[in-house]
Amino acid sequence: MTTPAFTYAGSPARIVFGEGTLARVGDEVARLGGTRPIVLATAQQRAAGEALCAQIAGAGLFAEAAMHTPVEVTDRALGYVRERGGDCLVALGGGSTIGLGKAIAYRTDLAQLAVPTTYAGSEATSVLGQSEAGRKTTLRDPKVLPETIVYDVLLTLTLPRALSVTSALNAIAHAVEGLYAHDGNPVTSALAEQGIAALARALPTIAQRHDDRDARSDALFGAWACGTVLGSVAMGLHHKLCHVLGGSFGLPHAETHAVMLPHVVAFNAAAAPDAMARIARALGMPDPATGLANLARQLGAPTQLRALGLAQDAIDHAAELVVASPYRNPREFDRAAIRELLISAY
Ligand code: NAD
């Protein structure tokens, strides 16, 4: 049997993809039964949130979403939802804004429509990360998975070049780890390979012309594919390292993914030959770790943890945290191996 036996649970989300699809959000809200939607955004994307509100009757705007989903912001948003009698949520933005929508849905079970404007992939997962008093915790619950995702390529034209690059490398990391996940399957592997190929093809163009629509649509499709992989199978050492570095040491999310990915791929290479062959094929380069490192360098992504503000004496503690509650990974590791890996990324 060349196709292995597998189990695959498809995401129930409805996906609307294209250019100008933002105009369809009102209809999609109605489809979810919403009459008083609450649009969520960050302060930086307030104008985009206002424009969306203006096109949906009865909509209200809460534009205070923040990185790592602080519980005090969620509490304020809940107050606003109650005061306005909000009956569904529309998260317009990146992982931070979508995180706020998930946090509200977790507490209210309101229906969610996500309109992603980065490539982070949170819209496709039932994982919610939250922070309170400087501590980050994550939970998994089907209630937090958005019911509808509207991808509008035009919204990504304003994503700054640097964030486009790091966010796309963040997406590629989901697919890479999906390819060697212990619960991976032919469906997620096909999506992962397509996702990496679409992003790797689009990125050099986006880095030169950030408003190239063809490249942007490839990248957004790739982000959907990679996000779907993230939402379907278990992530490994790379995501564990990034969660520790972001959650306990305050490193920026997408940049940390960009720095760590080539190092973890090199670390896992010998233990996951099939995944490596697929990554190489998707990148169109013979060696996946070198290919990813070259791609990051060519695109001007950060390449050192030191540059992201990690203190060198934090490395031992970080290695301890990774080993204390590890994620399943194709290659076994201990504290010394993680320490070495972090030093090479430093
Ligand atoms: P982000 O949402 O924090 O956005 C970064 C900044 O870019 C914000 O100021 C935002 O307003 C702005 N921005 C976003 N899109 C823009 C656009 N198109 N044009 C102009 N400005 C734009 O960044 P992110 O990397 O998407 O999200 C990171 C967060 O998402 C982290 O907290 C991470 O933990 C979380 N995340 C969660 C999951 C999950 O499955 N739960 C998955 C991936 C990421």
- Using one digit for the tens of pLDDT, what is the confidence trace for 186-203? 999 999 999 999 999 999
Model pLDDT, residue 271: 98
SS3 content of the chain, % helix, strand, coil (to 5): 60, 15, 30
Which residue ranges in the chain fall short of pLDDT 70? none
Q: Please tell me the distance between residue 246's alpha carbon and the centre of ligand 1 in angstroms.
A: 13
- 103 Cα to the center of ligand 1, angstroms: 15
Task: Verify whether ligand 1 is closer than 6 Å to residue 253 (CB atom).
Answer: yes
CA-wise closest residue to 237 among 334, 154, 306: 334
Instruction: Ligand 1 pocket test: pick from 253, 255, 257 the residue with the most ligand atoms within 8 Å of its Cβ.
Output: 253
Looking at residue 4, its pLDDT comes to 87
Q: Residue 247: its pLDDT value, please?
A: 86
- Cα(4) to ligand 1 centroid in Å equals 36
Decide if 166 contacts 256 (C-beta within 8 A): no
The closest-lying atom of ligand 1 relative to the alpha carbon of residue 119 is: 26
Centre of ligand 1 from the C-alpha of residue 274, in Å: 31
Our mutation pick for probing the ligand 1 site, out of 39, 122, 125, 161, counting the most ligand atoms within 8 A of Cβ, is 122
Distances (CA, A) of 271 to 171, 227, 262, 281: 22, 24, 15, 18
pLDDT for res 134: 73
Extract the runs of DSSP E, i.e. beta strands, from the chain.
Answer: 14-18, 37-42, 60-65, 88-93, 111-116, 127-132, 135-140, 148-152
Look at residue 218 and give its three-state secondary structure. Answer: helix
The CA R_g of the chain, rounded to the nearest whole Å, is: 19
Residue 159 CB less than 6 A away from ligand 1 = yes
Position 137 scores a pLDDT of 87
Q: How far is CA 299 from CA 7, 158, 221, 240, in A?
A: 37, 17, 20, 25
- CA separation for the pair 63, 41 (Å, rounded): 4
Give the β-pairing of 148-152 and 14-18: parallel
Tell me if 243 CB under 6 Å of ligand 1.
Answer: no
Coil, helix or strand at residue 115: strand
pLDDT for the residue numbered 189? 98
Domain ranges in the chain are 14-156, 161-345
pLDDT tens per residue across span 257-307: 999 999 999 999 999 999 999 999 999 999 999 999 999 999 999 999 999
Please work out whether the CB of residue 174 comes within 6 Å of at least one atom of ligand 1: no
Contacts of 86 (CB under 8 A, 6+ apart): 36, 37, 38, 60, 80, 110
* Pocket of ligand 1 contains residue 93 by CB under 6 Å: yes
Return the best residue to mutate from 96, 150, 158 for the ligand 1 pocket (most ligand atoms within 8 A of CB). 96
Ligand 1 pocket, 95 CB below 6 A? yes
Residue 76 has what DSSP assignment? Answer: H
Largest CA distance in the chain: 59
Can you say how many angstroms the Cα of residue 95 is from the centroid of all Cα atoms in its chain? Answer: 6
Q: Which atom of ligand 1 lies closest to the CA of 68?
A: 32
Does the domain made of 14-156 have the CATH classification 3.30.1600.10?
A: no
* Assigned fold of 161-345: Dehydroquinate synthase-like, alpha domain (1.20.1090)
For residue 280, give the nearest of 187, 208, 176, 204 by alpha carbon. Answer: 176
Q: How far is the CA of 209 from the centre of ligand 1 (A)?
A: 21
pLDDT for 133 equals 83
What is d(CA 230, CA 343) in angstroms, rounded to the nearest whole number?
27
User: What is the pairing mode between strands 127-132 and 135-140?
Assistant: antiparallel
**Which residue owns the Cα nearest ligand 1 atom 15?**
117
**Does the Cβ of 155 fall within 6 Å of ligand 1?**
yes
Q: How far is the CA of 116 from the centre of ligand 1 (A)?
A: 9
| Atom of ligand 1 lying closest to residue 128 CA | 41
Alpha-carbon torsion angle 230, 185, 173, 129, nearest 10: 20
Q: Ligand 1: distance of its center to the CA of 120 in Å?
A: 6
DSSP 40-64: EEESTTHHHHHHHHHTSTT-EEEEE
pLDDT of residue 344: 97
Give the predicted TM-score (pTM) of the model.
0.96
